[in-house]
Amino acid sequence: MTRMLQVPRSRGAISGLLLVLLGLWGALIPLVGPYFHFAYTPDAAWRLTSGRVWLEIVPGAVTLLGGIILLLSASRPMAMLGAEIAAAAGAWFALGTVIVPLWPAASTLNAGSPAGTTVVIRQLEHLAFFTGLGVVIVFVAALALGRLTVIGVRDARLAEGRGEPVTEPQPVTFGRATTPTTTGATTADASRAGTARGSLHTFSRWMVARRS
């Protein structure tokens, strides 16, 4: 049962790497985006505000942490935990700007407004900084959770320490020959096979005695 909790690191490698990259984007884009005139107000690079910290940098760091756990862990529960916290951070990216205005104590958490000069740029900024980024993170994390939740036949065989059946020849005994048997055959099957061979041998001796 303990071995069933182990999982190959390759199972979550791609999802973990994607979450790491998405977390870096979410945490760094509000700080470096103003260099490219792609930002939320205030349109100043490396300027920290409460909105940037709690609505962008913190969930980005949590997504990064979840991706690292998923990428490096060989434990199924630990890898699933990494995917779950990344999914929670993605949900905060997507819904944080909607929930915060409903919470009076968080009135200082102002995300600002898109700094783009056209409608298209402003919509792209909103998607890249919050809603679209959050949806992509949740999707990748959910995909990783699905792969980790399913236990395939190969996983079960490895956990039980079983391989494919191997055919091994049995030695020939006096008066009768045994047929190859498959490793892993049950005792009942072997007993029935021995009884059938014994009956055949007895019948052959009776036929010889009758002819003589």
pLDDT per residue as tens digits for the range 75-93: 999 999 999 999 999 999 9
Q: How confident is the model at residue 135 (pLDDT cuts 50, 70, 90)?
A: very high
Global pTM reads 0.71
Cα-Cα-Cα-Cα dihedral of 151, 154, 158, 163, to 10°? Answer: 150
Q: What is the DSSP string of 99-150?
A: HGGG-GGGTT-----B--SSHHHHHHHHHHHTHHHHHHHHHHHHHHHHHHH-
Residue 176 bridge partners (DSSP): 173
CB 12 within 8 A of CB 74: no
Across the chain, mean pLDDT equals 80
Q: Worst-scoring range by mean pLDDT, 18-32, 38-52, 102-116, 167-181? A: 167-181
Query: Is the confidence at residue 163, as pLDDT, over 50?
Result: no
Mean pLDDT of 21-26: 98
Q: What is the pLDDT of residue 151?
A: 73
How far apart are alpha carbons 73 and 9 in whole angstroms? 6
Inform me whether the pLDDT recorded for 171 exceeds 60: no
Question: Mean pLDDT across the stretch 139-157?
Answer: 81
Lowest mean pLDDT across 91-95, 102-106, 112-116, 208-212: 208-212
Radius of gyration, CA atoms only, the chain:
32
| Rounded Cα–Cα distance for residues 116 and 40 (Å) | 8
Spatial distance between the Cα atoms of 134 and 139, rounded to a whole number of angstroms: 9
Neighbours of 135 (CB within 10 A): 15
- 109: alpha, beta or left? (left if phi > 0; alpha if psi -120 to 50): beta
